[in-house]
Structure 1
Amino acid sequence: MRSSRHTIAFSASPLLASRTPVWRSRFVLAVLALAFVTLAGRAVYVQLLGNDFFQKQGEARFARTIELPPSRGRVLDRNGLILASSVPAFGIWADGANPSDPNMGQLAKLLGMNKNAVAEHIKRSADGFVYLKRQVDEATRERIKALGMVGVSDTKEYMRLYPEGDAAAHVVGFTNIENKGLEGVELAFNTQLSGHAGSRRVIKDRMGSIIEDLRDVIPPVNGQDVQLSIDSKVQFFAYDQLRTAVELHKAKGGSAVVLDAQSGEVLAMANYPSYNPSDRRNLTGELLRNRTITDTFEPGSTMKPFVVALALERGVVTPTTTYQTAPGYIDIGRHRISDSHEHGVLNVTQIVEKSSNVGTVKISMDLSAQAMWTTFTQVGIGQKPVVPFPGAASGRLRGYESWRPVEKATMSYGYGLSTSLFQLARAYTIFARNGDMAPLTMIKANGAVTGTPVFSPKVAGQMRDMLALATGDEGTAPRAQTLGYSVAGKTGTARKVEGKSYGKKYRAFFVGYAPADKPRVVVAVMIDEPGKGQFYGGIVAAPVFSQTVQNTLRIMGLQPDQVVRPNINAVGAQESF
């Protein structure tokens, strides 16, 4: 048998067996080459020629401008002790976060918020930036950051601290969440304290974390410190004494002002009740007001010394001129003005010492309405205090042309006009400064100041003698006496208006200075609506003056000017009001 041999071709496929046309191969190679050139050109464009464009496009999607908040200036007392300062804090925010994030419960716990409330905030973040909580401390911020929640991040800010708390709240005031002053010194000096914010451009990743700093950094300008004339120790003692008196007498409240009589510096402005400036929830407007300077009232018998001083200045009376005050009242038209009890014949000095309404009215009858109005205006009644404090009241003093005889009479003992405690304290610097009234300042000053003349030094000296007797055993305020220092001053007790007439609620006052011969400080005290049947200024307000003066003079380093223990338990004369 003959064998045969078959040859097998390279491929049995007709397509593979056929030769590929040369033009097709060249076309494919051309396409590949063109694609390569295109990609290479694109790479060159992106990396070199179009780099700025694409970088800007990327920055537009992930770059952010971050505000760099300034540190608010500190508020300091006269000795450099801090009354208000700022510490770093963080605002936690969301932008496009996931409300179903498994860490939602932990986030809410760290923020001290309800989980549902946090979830609602985060839902709103789908439309853009929303704060979850402001002024979070560093430790909490780090724990939140560790959760790694997409779209939840933080911004640096500052939180305000008030070391003196309730005691200085009405002086210092407070700021809002944006660190803008809303009350007190924080508002009055907001521009100086605020500074100016800076900014920086950064790139953030999808979790909100900064991954790169860009250019264009504008550093913040921090706020300036403000050093007040306030002495934090004097402020605390005044506040503490007010609290004691208000609680002891079941009163509605109380206020006190302490001035340096020679420099015109305000050493303290205290009110009780007060508030915690770091926790202002559920507060009313009344509690927020610095009532020493915003609230006005009829000052009662504390106005009598100014009428007597005017009469002395005009030569109408001398300290020994006598008046018959029997039978203990005087009728002005259809109106009767009375003393607390009959005093009989009193000289001018005794009229001040005993606080006789009848005697003061009789002195005023020898003075013109215009003269009284001029003097009241000169001592600041009806004039807005020239201090940079929000809400400072001017009080009320009608033009003398409209005064009726009975109104002229009642104004002589402090009814029918109104003033603030701050104004009243300033008015008494006239007697403490040889007849001129000090310009007041809340900023620390150096040395004595030149005042505005109101009475002659001779008359001021005569009034100092009379006001010293008013705090003696036979006066209305022996309880104003204090250990180691001589004092002088005047009580006041005024009925409060209820509806359209005077009711059975009172304000008790004492305004005075110490030492009596060479005064350094003026202290004004008001207790509002004292209860328990005791409402006279000599009983309720004078003890606050006594303790405040003593502590203030010791803090100032002033040596005692008397060694005999004062008879501070003396009963004293009953005041007329």
Structure 2
Amino acid sequence: MIDKPEKWARVRMRLAAALFGLFCLLVLGRSFYLQVLQKDRLVKIAEKQHQRVVPLTPSRGAIYDRTGAPLAVSIEMDSCYAETRNLENLPDAAAKLAPLLGTTKDQLEAKLKASKNFVWLARRMPPEAAQKIRDLDLDGVGFVKESKRFYPNSEVAAHVLGFTGMDPGGLEGVEKKYDSTILGNTGFLVTERDALGRDVDQKKGTEGKSGTKGNNLYLTLDKNVQYIAEKELAKAVETNQARAGIAVVMEPDTGRILAMANYPTFNPNSYFKYQGGALRNRAISDSFEPGSTFKIFLVASALENRVIGPRDYFNCENGSYNVGGRTIHDTHRYASLNVPQILKYSSNIGAAKIGSRLGPERLYQALTGFGFGDRTDVDLPGETGGYLRQQSKWYGVDLATISFGQGVSATAIQIATAVSAVANGGNLMRPYLVEKVVDDTGQVVKEIAPQVKRRVISPETARTVARMLEGVVDEGGTGTNAAVEGYRVAGKTGTAQKVDAATHGYSASKRTASFVGFVPLEKPRLTILVVVDEPKTSPYGGVVAAPAFSAIAQQALCYLKVPPEKGIRKKVQQGPREEAPPPQPVMEEGGSVDGVETGTMPNFRGMSMRQVLRVMEKSGLNVKLQGSGRAVEQHPPPGSRISTQDQVWVRFVPSA
């Protein structure tokens, strides 16, 4: 018989064995959980504890024109870094590296000492500089491949393409609009560290992965047409000593933009050297009063609503017409003009009377139908919608002035798109720049097709207006300088005063001159708009912008192999008529001094400055004189009623 103490000893032994067995089971279970079930998660945690990950610049897809010519590409370049704990002699390394990095020894040494581990020495280095650093064979200094954006054509299409930052995210233009499409996946650089956080030798412990390339874009732009537009626009701006300029070339049937030029321009490879104004795409971001180009849409709307006919005549009041307390003037005095002649001679009075017959509601509806007052939705960032007041806020003379493009503003892309609707038979197209998206293997990811937004006029009305616009370019019209040898051209000149920021009224000397049209007349291939901002030689679109239109059209049609039309006469050489100026305020009649009425503006044209001063002295006028030589332009026009308190100016140019 077992005594009681021995029995309890055995119980305690069995209890201890059971507890030990349970403990072993718990240890085995925990080991299985950690080493099998949680293996992947714990391995990642362990890697993070002994690895440092440095993100690398992702590679961007290329941008091509419609023919496949590269406009923007990404090239691989060496970026140099240092792992400071692996530099055996930091001051000596700084002394050797500083001259190659374009800095001083002290600055580089301070930069290296400030970093605990990893520091970039230079990003995207030229190959020659990278090789010189490699030749030093310094421990702790390494290289990794990163992509850099490069624009092989420099300034060509700069405002359309935009540019990228160091990230390299798109900052402007197509680069920004399609950033998520073009940008690839980010790469990385991994450096190994030991248990104390010290870097393992970089030659053995550093590895990485380059960023993957994004999708490629094919634009509607044609590099050659773009170059032609930029060249002729620059010539027009410089010849006329203007502030800036815009040119847009479109396919009227599709809305494809073949060229979008701005002057001044910039080089996207070094965009940081330019001021903000030079980087702005004026074709979509700047709105201006369109002036007489608006008469195209006025006449088209009036014909569509059948309130006028092509043969209707309007009394043009011999050049002076009072509306709502304002006087509208035409440069030349006409007793009566029919509708085609109102366009040909650009009569403001005739346009005002057509607008009166059309009425504010129908005119407003027509202008919004043509897209004014709203963005065109072109695939570029930063587009503005211009300014068109609600019809309920039109008062007094507004109907008359809006009829010929004053008191309303539009962008170049809006005007070109609206004129394209007349050229293509009445359809308002959505303008666009990206034709298709292609991945790195050449597969088409997305293809963009032409899009009709709405029909604005009938084909019959479009054909009628197109033939009327041909008269603008014919002999005697305001746009004879836009004629293109071998082709029939339809177009319209525009001249508009600019608002003075200081006085908030119209400037006496600053104008916007423009010409917009399409060619050939019967089967238009191109719609072209040229805008010249603040020209100093002449304010008239027929003088300043029309020659650039002609040059762009002639070269582009030749390049596109559009055959000349048979039986078309050569380009008209006669100078254009001047357009009608904007309306001037009604002035009170005055008396006379030595036979010259103080209330009537004399005709100063052709006079010398001395002769003008004599007339001023006799009439008591306060006239501002601009330039030197012979008088070529004046404000108000001859015969206008003025008082001695009104602003009057005369512009002179040197005699030939």
When normalised by structure 1's length, the TM-score is 0.85
What aligned pairs does 1:300-379 form with structure 2 within 5 A after superposition? 300-379=291-370
Partner residue, 1:516: 521
Structure 1: gaps of 5 or more residues: 1-48
Shift of residue 71, structure 1, vs aligned partner: 2.3
Contact 2:155–2:265 (8 Å) recurs in 1: yes
Contact 2:169–2:183 (8 Å) recurs in 1: yes
Partner residue, 2:119: 130
Query: Cα RMSD between the aligned structures?
Result: 2.6
* Match status 1:189 vs 2:178: yes
Shift of residue 446, structure 1, vs aligned partner: 8.2
Q: Evaluate the alpha carbon distance shift between residue 132 and residue 347 of structure 1 in structure 2; reply closer, same or farther with a 3 A threshold.
A: same
Shift of residue 560, structure 1, vs aligned partner: 1.2
Q: In the alignment, residue 195 of structure 1 is paired with which amino acid?
A: G
Contact 1:69–1:156 (8 Å) recurs in 2: no
Q: Secondary structure at the match of 2:495?
A: strand
Partner residue, 2:77: 89
Contact 2:61–2:183 (8 Å) recurs in 1: yes
Contact 1:103–1:147 (8 Å) recurs in 2: no
Q: For 2:451 and 2:45, locate their aligned partners in 1 and report how far apart those are by CA, in whole Å.
A: 65
When normalised by structure 2's length, the TM-score is 0.75
* Match status 1:548 vs 2:549: no
Shift of residue 200, structure 1, vs aligned partner: 6.3
Which residue of 68, 72, 94 corresponds with 1:80? Answer: 68
Partner residue, 1:32: none
Q: Secondary structure at the match of 1:467?
A: helix
Partner residue, 2:152: 163
Q: Evaluate the alpha carbon distance shift between residue 114 and residue 561 of structure 1 in structure 2; reply closer, same or farther with a 3 A threshold.
A: farther
Contact 1:261–1:433 (8 Å) recurs in 2: yes
Q: Secondary structure at the match of 1:166?
A: coil
Q: In the alignment, residue 273 of structure 1 is paired with which amino acid?
A: P
Q: For 2:364 and 2:44, locate their aligned partners in 1 and report how far apart those are by CA, in whole Å.
A: 73
Which residue of 278, 291, 298 corresponds with 1:287? Answer: 278
What aligned pairs does 1:97-496 form with structure 2 within 5 A after superposition? 101-125=91-115, 127-199=116-188, 201=190, 203=192, 209-212=202-205, 220-444=211-435, 450=452, 452-496=454-498
Q: For 1:348 and 1:182, locate their aligned partners in 2 and report how far apart those are by CA, in whole Å.
A: 48
Shift of residue 118, structure 1, vs aligned partner: 2.9
Q: In the alignment, residue 137 of structure 1 is paired with which amino acid?
A: P
Q: For 1:305 and 1:486, locate their aligned partners in 2 and report how far apart those are by CA, in whole Å.
A: 17
* Match status 1:501 vs 2:505: yes
Larger radius of gyration: 1
Shift of residue 562, structure 1, vs aligned partner: 4.1
Q: In the alignment, residue 113 of structure 1 is paired with which amino acid?
A: T
Q: Secondary structure at the match of 1:109?
A: helix
Q: For 2:57 and 2:122, locate their aligned partners in 1 and report how far apart those are by CA, in whole Å.
A: 17
Q: For 2:367 and 2:458, locate their aligned partners in 1 and report how far apart those are by CA, in whole Å.
A: 16
Could you give the per-residue CA deviations for residues 72-92 of structure 1, whole angstroms, max 9, x where no partner exists? 100110011100000001222
Q: In the alignment, residue 465 of structure 2 is paired with which amino acid?
A: M
Q: For 1:241 and 1:163, locate their aligned partners in 2 and report how far apart those are by CA, in whole Å.
A: 21
Q: Secondary structure at the match of 1:175?
A: coil
Q: For 2:45 and 2:221, locate their aligned partners in 1 and report how far apart those are by CA, in whole Å.
A: 56
Structure 2: gaps of 5 or more residues: 1-34, 436-446, 582-656
* Match status 1:528 vs 2:533: yes
Q: In the alignment, residue 526 of structure 1 is paired with which amino acid?
A: V
Q: Evaluate the alpha carbon distance shift between residue 114 and residue 388 of structure 1 in structure 2; reply closer, same or farther with a 3 A threshold.
A: farther
Shift of residue 107, structure 1, vs aligned partner: 1.9
Could you give the per-residue CA deviations for residues 43-92 of structure 1, whole angstroms, max 9, x where no partner exists? xxxxxx9xx9xx99997786443545442100110011100000001222
Q: Evaluate the alpha carbon distance shift between residue 263 and residue 104 of structure 1 in structure 2; reply closer, same or farther with a 3 A threshold.
A: same
Shift of residue 116, structure 1, vs aligned partner: 4.2
Contact 1:202–1:210 (8 Å) recurs in 2: no
Q: For 1:535 and 1:100, locate their aligned partners in 2 and report how far apart those are by CA, in whole Å.
A: 66
Q: Evaluate the alpha carbon distance shift between residue 422 and residue 288 of structure 1 in structure 2; reply closer, same or farther with a 3 A threshold.
A: same
Q: For 2:200 and 2:473, locate their aligned partners in 1 and report how far apart those are by CA, in whole Å.
A: 73
Q: For 1:123 and 1:494, locate their aligned partners in 2 and report how far apart those are by CA, in whole Å.
A: 63
Q: In the alignment, residue 458 of structure 1 is paired with which amino acid?
A: E
Q: For 1:535 and 1:85, locate their aligned partners in 2 and report how far apart those are by CA, in whole Å.
A: 41
Contact 2:532–2:545 (8 Å) recurs in 1: yes
Q: For 1:82 and 1:458, locate their aligned partners in 2 and report how far apart those are by CA, in whole Å.
A: 42
Contact 2:146–2:210 (8 Å) recurs in 1: no
Identity across the alignment (%): 36
Q: For 1:169 and 1:448, locate their aligned partners in 2 and report how far apart those are by CA, in whole Å.
A: 24
